Amino acid sequence: MISTNEFKTGITIEMDGEIYSVLEFQHVKPGKGAAFVRTKLKNLRSGSTVDHTFRAGEKVARAHLERKEMEYLYRDDDTFYLMDAETYEQLALPAETLGEGSKYLKENDRLTVVMLGEEVVGVDVPITVVLEVADTEPGIKGDTASGATKPATMETGLVVQVPLFVNSGDKIKIDTRTGSYLERA
Q: How many CB atoms lie within 10 A of CB 21?
A: 20
Mean pLDDT of the chain: 87
The burial of 184, by beta-carbon neighbours within 10 Å (0-12 exposed, 13-18 middle, 19 or more buried), is given as: middle
Q: Among 40, 62, 84, identify where a domain stops.
A: 62
In this prediction, residues 5-15 reach a mean pLDDT of: 88
pLDDT for residue 141: 61
73, 55: one domain: no
H or E element, residue 95: helix 95-98
pLDDT tens digits for 114-157?
888 888 888 888 888 899 998 888 866 655 666 788 889 998 88
pLDDT for residue 82: 92
SS3 string of 140-178? Answer: CCCCCCCCCEEEEEECCCCEEEEECCCCCCCEEEEECCC
Res 51 pLDDT > 90: yes
CATH number of the structural domain spanning residue 144:
2.40.50.140
pLDDT tens digits for 72-94?
998 888 888 999 888 888 989 88
| Per-residue pLDDT band at 171 (split at 50, 70, 90) | very high
Q: Quick check: 101 and 125 in contact, CB under 8 A? A: yes
Number of structural domains found in the chain: 3
| Per-residue pLDDT band at 24 (split at 50, 70, 90) | very high
58, 10: one domain: yes
CATH number of the structural domain spanning residue 38:
2.30.30.30
Q: Give the residue numbers spanning the domain of 13.
A: 2-62
Sign of CA dihedral 163, 167, 173, 176: positive
| Per-residue pLDDT band at 36 (split at 50, 70, 90) | very high
CA distance 8 to 64: 15
120, 134: one domain: no
In this prediction, residues 161-174 reach a mean pLDDT of: 89
Residue 146 makes CB contacts below 8 A (sequence gap 6+) with: none
73, 25: one domain: no
